[in-house]
């Protein structure tokens, strides 16, 4: 299956997760959201899109890319979404509450894909980031490969 994985990333964690997901899929191409505009996405059977959670939403560039695809142009195309996010348990009471209210990026990416008549083939998935540099103590990279 021809697979395109599109990621957005500020500090590099989402890119690492995207590459780990690709190791769980045969024949997957991984591109940043900036490079994605050069791709002809109709060449791909499955498109996986991932972004860091910023303010409970996807970092804007990934969402802007998806929103720019003409409505219905890729009807029925198989898609899945993932995000990276902060570890809820490590936040103070206020931030825990805020994160609970604001939610995370991947369900929002999935929702916008679904509303464009794309065919969601997996539940959206979130991967926790310790801080901007990782590390990957929770087996995130291995979990990402399995999710792929
Ligand atoms: C401006 C900003 C806003 C953020 N907002 C949230 C948030 O609302 N919820 C959350 O779980 N993590 C939040 N984070 C943490 C990021 O999700 C985390 O740093 C990101 O997954 C790292 O991915 P990257 O290395 O690919 O940029 C925020 C980080 C930044 C820099």
Domain residue ranges of the chain, discontinuous segments joined by +: 3-130
Distance 114 CA to ligand 1 centre (A): 24
Give, using CA atoms, the residue closest to atom 8 of ligand 1.
55
Rounded to an integer, the average pLDDT of 61-70 is: 82
Measure the CA–CA gap between 130 and 119, rounded to whole angstroms: 32
Strand, coil or helix: 82 = strand
**12: alpha, beta or left? (left if phi > 0; alpha if psi -120 to 50):** left
Whole-number average pLDDT of the chain? 89
Query: Counting atoms of ligand 1 from 1, which one is nearest the CA of 17?
Result: 26
Question: Which residues have CB under 6 Å of ligand 1?
Answer: 9-14, 52-56, 84-86, 99, 102, 104, 129, 132
Distance 41 CA to ligand 1 centre (A): 27
* H-helix or E-strand spanning residue 29: strand 28-32
Query: Counting atoms of ligand 1 from 1, which one is nearest the CA of 52?
Result: 21
Distance 45 CA to ligand 1 centre (A): 29
pLDDT tens digits, one per residue of 102-140: 999 999 999 888 777 788 999 999 998 876 665 555 688
| 3-130 carries CATH number 3.40.50.2300 | no
Backbone angles phi, psi at 20, to 5 degrees: -65, -40
Strand, coil or helix: 72 = coil
Q: What is the DSSP letter of 122?
A: S
Stated pTM of the model: 0.92
**17: alpha, beta or left? (left if phi > 0; alpha if psi -120 to 50):** alpha
């Amino acid at each position: 299956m021809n697979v395109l994985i599109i990621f957005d990333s500020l500090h590099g964690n989402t890119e690492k997760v995207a590459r780990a997901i690709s190791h769980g899929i045969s024949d997957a191409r991984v591109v940043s959201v900036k490079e994605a505009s050069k791709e002809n996405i109709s060449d791909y059977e499955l498109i996986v899109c991932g972004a860091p959670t910023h303010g409970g939403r996807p970092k804007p560039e990934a969402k802007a890319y998806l929103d720019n695809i003409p409505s219905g142009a890729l009807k029925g195309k198989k898609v899945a979404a993932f995000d990276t996010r902060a570890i809820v348990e490590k936040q103070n009471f206020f931030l825990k509450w805020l994160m609970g209210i604001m939610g995370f990026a991947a369900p929002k990416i999935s929702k916008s894909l679904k509303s464009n008549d794309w065919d969601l083939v997996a539940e959206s998935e979130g991967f926790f980031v310790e801080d901007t540099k990782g590390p990957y103590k929770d087996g995130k990279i291995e979990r990402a490969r399995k999710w792929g």
